[in-house]
Structure 1
Amino acid sequence: MAAANIPVIDISNPSQDESQVAKDLVEAAIEHGFIYIKNTGGDIPIDAVQGAFDLSRELFAAPLEEKQQCKYQKNNMGWAGMQYETLDPKNQRQTLVLLTQVNRVFNFGEFIDGQPQQPIPPSISHRTSQISAFRDYCYNLSLKLNTLLGIGLDVNPPSFFTTSHLRSSGPSGSILRFLYYPPLPLTPTAQPGIDVRAGAHSDYGSLTMLFRLPRQAGLEIQLPSGKWAPVPVSPPGTESDPAPPILVNIGDLLSYWTNGLLRSTMHRVVFSGEGNGVEGETDTEARYSIAYFCHPVGTSSLGLVPSERVRGFKGAQVGEGERGVLTADEHLQMRYVYSVSVQEKDRCVR
C-alpha cells in the first residue's frame, strides 16, 4: 500500500516569502486536506513536545481510580476509556468494545490564568503549568496557520479566520487531547484489516494539529478514489529532523467556511498488520499521540468567508440548511448529539 503523498511545508523559516508559504498551504489544504508542518522548534519547542509525551505516559499510567474521578463530561473534557465514542458506526464491529479496556483518551479544555477548568488526576497535578504552556503553544500555532490560510485564500480581511479564533472574543470548543492505543499484543482479538483503533471520521473543528512519535504505525487517510493510504510519521526528507513534522488537517468548519474548497478529509487509525503499514513503523508497541483540536469562538457564523476564490468555487454548499447558516457551537452540538446517540444505541445492542 503506497503512502499518502502529503506536502511538507516549513512555515517558520523567516527567509521565506510569506505569501508563497500561504499559497502552498492553501493548495495542500485543497488537494489533500492534510499538510505536514516541519517541526524544527521555531513555533513549538522540541523539548515541549517531548515533555508533553512524557506527561502523557505518566497520565495513562496513573491509577484508574484517579482518572475515573475525572471522567468524560458533556463539555468534552476529561478521561474516557476504550471505545467511548463510535466514530464510524456503519463499519465498526460491536465486538470491538470487548477488547482490552485500556485507558485511551484525556481531553483538556480551557485554562484560565494557567489553571484548568476541570478535574485533573492528582498524579499529574504538579504538571498543570506544563499542560497549560503546551496548550498555549498549540493555540498560538493555530492562529498562525489560520492567518496563513486567510492570506493564501485572499480573504478580505486576511485576519478573518484568526479573529474568529481569538480567546478574547469568547469561549470555544478547542481541546488538547492525549491519546493512548494499546499495542497489538494486548488486543489479541483484534483482526487487522477488519477492526480499527479509531473509525473513519472527519474532525469537528476548523483544523487539527497532530503530534506523533517515530515509528508508530496506524494513521490512514481516504484518497479521492475512496482507497485508504497510510500517513508516515516521518515522510521522506524529514527523517533527520529534530522531531517528526506536525501533521495538520482541515476540519469541518474550515470546509464549511470555504464551501468545501478546503478539504475536510476522512481519516482513521488502524491495526496495520504485516505488509499494510509504512516501512520502519510498527503497532507492536503502545501508540501515543497528541492532538490539538482548534475550534473558532462558539458564536462564529459559518457563512461563506469573504474571498473571491471561495465565492467562485462551485462546492457542495456545505454548512447551510433549512435553518440557515450554522454557528460553530451549533455544529459542535450536532456532532456531540450524534456521537452520544450512537454510543447509547451501541449499549442497547450489547
Structure 2
Amino acid sequence: MDVLQTPENVRRNHVANNGVHVGVGRSAGGCVAPERHIHRRLGHSPCVLRSQGRKPDDEYVRGSDELTDSATAHGNSTSAGPTLDEPNTTERGSTLNSDQLTVTVTDGFVPVIDLSSRDSARGRAAIAEAIGNALRGSGFFIIVGHGVSADLVDRMFTATNSFFKLPDGEKDVVASRPGVSGYRRAGGTLARSLDQKTPPDLCETYAAHVTGEMSDVERSTLGNEWASWTHKNIWPKDPADFKDAWQEYMAAMGELAADLMRLFALALGLDEGFFEDKFDHHGSSVAVNYYPPQTEPPLPGQLRRGPHTDFGSLTILYQEDERSGLQVLRGEDEWRDVAAIPGSFVVNIGDLMALWTGGRWVSTMHRVANPQSGDTSSRLTIPFFYLPNHDASIEPMRPFTDSSAVERFDTVTVSEWVSRKVQKIFS
C-alpha cells in the first residue's frame, strides 16, 4: 500500500482505476481538469432561521439540480465580506495554474488533487484554487501527495481489520456504553440524521476521540450536550498494537486536517490562520466502519451506509484499496461512484463547513452501496472527522449570492448541531 508521492505513481495507479491521470509540475499536460465551474445552490442550509418555524436540524445540505454558472453566481454578489475570485478554469481538459506552477486534477465531479507542492506559496495558492473549485461543485475531492506515511496507514488498517475479525464475544469486551466510546456491533442508521426512515445500516463501528484520553475532570469541561467527545476511549488488548496505531493515526490526521483548513481559508480569500482558534481544543474522532460479508440479501432499502451528509467541518476517509462502494449524489437521483485509489484519501466537507461559507461550498449527500449479488467480501473504511471546538459558534461568513437566501441560515454551536445529529442515528 504505497503512498502516491510522485506524478508517475499517481498517473500509473489512477489510469488503472479511471483511465485518466493527475500530475504535478511545471509542464504537466494532457490532464483532465474539473468540469466548468458551477455553484451548486443548496436547497436549504443545515441551519434555518427559527422564524421559518423550523429547528436547525430540520434541514440538511444535499445534492441539487439547481446549478448556476460561476460567472453569474459570483458576478452579482453583494456580500460585504471577502469575495471569491473567478476560478482559473474554462473547459474540460484545462489545468489550474498559479504563477506557472501547475496543479492538475481529474474527473470534474470528485477530482483528484495532488498536495505535494503545498510546501511553497505558489503551490499552496494553486492547490487552494483546485480545492475551492471542488467544494463549490460536489463538496468532495481525493488527495494524493499528502505526506502521510504508508507504513502508518498500513499498521492502522491491519490492526483494525484484525480486531473486527475477532469473535463477537471478544469485541463486546470493549463495547460502547454510557460515557465510553468503543465497539458497536450495530453502527446505527445514518439516514435517520436526515429524518429518513430506513432499516439499520449493515456495518459495525469502532470509535475513539482525541479527547478520550483526558481525565474525567477535563472531559467534564467539554459541554453539557450529549456528545461523543465527552466519552472516554477504551482499547482492546488484541491486537496488541491497536491503541498505538490508532493514536498515531489520529495525530497524523489532525495535522493533515489542520493544513487542509489553512488551504480552505486561502480558497475563501481569507488569511491562512482564520480557522485556527476554532480548532485549538477540537473534539475530532476516528470512527471506523466495518462492513461484514453479506451472506443474506439485505432488506428493501437497506444499505451498508444509508444516505447522509457529514455533520462537521471536514472528513478525511481512507478506503480499502480496490474496494469502493462510496457513492456521492449528483443532482436529485444520480449516484456517482468514488474510486478507491491506492495511497489516497477522500476529503469532503460537512454541514458546519457549508454553513460557515454561507452555502458557497456544499455538504453533499453520500452513501455506501451494497456489493453486487454474490460478492461476499468484507470492506473497511477509516474516516477521520475533524470537528471544531465544542463551544465554537458557527455562523455564515457571507450570504448566498441571492440575498433573500441568507434568511435560511442561523448561528449554531458545534455541540448543539453534532449532538442532535448523533442522537438521531442511534435513536
TM-score by length of 1: 0.77
Counterpart in 1 of 2:420? 334
The verdict on how the C-alpha distance between 1:76 and 1:244 changes in structure 2, with shifts beyond 3 A counting, is farther
1:214 aligns with 2:347: no
In structure 1, the partner of 2:133 is 27
User: Given residue 26 of structure 1, which amino acid in structure 2 is its aligned partner?
Assistant: G
Partner of 1:58: 162
Matches within 5 A, 1:4-15: 5-13=109-117, 14=119
Taking the aligned partners of 1:262 and 1:75, their CA distance within structure 2 comes to 34
Residue 338 to residue 179, structure 1, CA distance change in 2 (3 Å): closer
Give the equivalent residue in structure 1 for 2:367: 268
Deviation at 1:248, TM superposition (A): 0.2
Given candidates 181, 186, 209, the residue that maps to 2:291 is: 181
DSSP-derived class of the 1:263 partner: coil
Q: State the match for 1:162 in structure 2.
A: 276
Specify whether residues 300 and 291 from structure 1 end up closer, same or farther in structure 2 by C-alpha distance, changes over 3 A only. Answer: same
Structure 2 CA distance for aligned equivalents of residues 249 and 6 of structure 1: 10
Is the alpha carbon distance of 1:114 and 1:60 closer, same or farther for their aligned partners in structure 2, counting shifts above 3 Å?
farther
1:135-284 paired onto structure 2 within 5 Å: 135-155=250-270, 157-166=271-280, 170=281, 172-184=282-294, 186=295, 188-190=296-298, 194-234=301-341, 243-273=342-372, 283-284=375-376
Q: Which amino acid aligns with 1:69?
A: V
Q: 1:4 to 1:266 in 2, by over 3 A?
A: farther
Question: Residues 130 and 337 (structure 1 numbering): CA distance in 2 closer, same or farther, change over 3 Å?
Answer: closer
CA RMSD of aligned residues (A): 2.9
Displacement of 1:267 in angstroms is 0.4
Distance 1:149 1:66 in 2: 42
1:304 aligns with 2:396: yes
CA distance in 2: counterparts of 1:230 and 1:318, whole angstroms: 34
Amino acid of the residue matched to residue 297 of structure 2? Answer: T
- Aligned counterparts of 1:87 and 1:165: Cα–Cα separation in 2: 25
Displacement of 1:78: 1.3
Q: CA deviation at 1:91?
A: 5.9
**Alignment match of 1:121 (pick from 231, 236, 240):** 236
Once the two structures are superposed, what CA deviation does each residue of 1:231-286 show, in whole Å capped at 9, x if it has no partner? 1112xxxxxxxx33210001111011111111101000111426xxxxxxx95411
Closer, same or farther: CA 118–227 of 1 in aligned 2, 3 Å? same
| Structure 2 gaps, min length 5 | 1-17, 19-106, 216-230
How far apart are residue 47 of structure 1 and its match? 1.1
**Percentage identity across paired residues of the two chains:** 24
Offset at residue 202 of structure 1 (A): 0.4
Q: Which string of whole-angstrom CA distances, capped at 9 and with x for unpartnered residues, describes residues 198-231 of structure 1? A: 1100011110010012221311111024321111
Conserved 8 A contact 1:23-1:153 = no
The letter of the residue matching 1:110 is: V
After superposition, the Cα gap between the structure-2 partners of 1:288 and 1:233, relative to the gap in structure 1 and judged at 3 Å, is same
Q: 1:303 to 1:114 in 2, by over 3 A?
A: closer
Which residue among 295, 299, 312 is the counterpart of 2:387?
A: 295
Paired AA for residue 294 in structure 1:
Y
Taking structure 1 as reference, are residues 338 and 113 closer, same or farther at Cα in structure 2, changes over 3 Å only? Answer: closer
| Map of 1:286 onto structure 2 | 378
**8 Å contact 1:320–1:326 — kept in the other structure?**
no
Q: What does the per-residue CA deviation read over 1:35-77, in whole Å, with 9 as the maximum and x for residues that have no partner? A: 1101x4x421111111111011122123433432322245682
Q: Which residue does 2:143 correspond to in 1?
A: 37
Bigger Rg, structure 1 or 2: 2
- Secondary structure of the corresponding residue to residue 196 of structure 1: coil
How far has the Cα of 1:114 moved from its partner? 10
Match of 1:108 among 208, 224, 231: 208
State the Cα distance separating 1:111 from its structure 2 match.
Answer: 5.4
Q: In structure 2, what is the Cα distance between the partners aligned to 1:10 and 1:258?
A: 24
Distance 1:219 1:126, change over 3 A: closer
Change (3 A) 1:75 1:22: farther
TM-score when scaled to structure 2? 0.64
Structure 1 pair 129–286 and aligned structure 2 pair: CA distance change class (3 A)? same
Determine helix, strand or coil for the equivalent of 1:215.
coil
Alpha-carbon deviation of 1:132? 0.9
How many correspondences in the alignment?
302
Mark the CA change 1:92 to 1:218 in structure 2 (over 3 Å): closer, same or farther: farther
Q: Residues 337, 182 of structure 1: CA spacing in aligned structure 2 closer, same or farther, 3 A cutoff?
A: closer
Q: Distance in 2 between matches of 1:5 and 1:320?
A: 26
Unaligned runs of 5+ in 1: 235-242, 275-281, 344-350
* Alpha-carbon distance in 1 for matches of 2:179, 2:133: 34
Contact 1:205/1:296, CA 8 A, preserved across alignment: yes
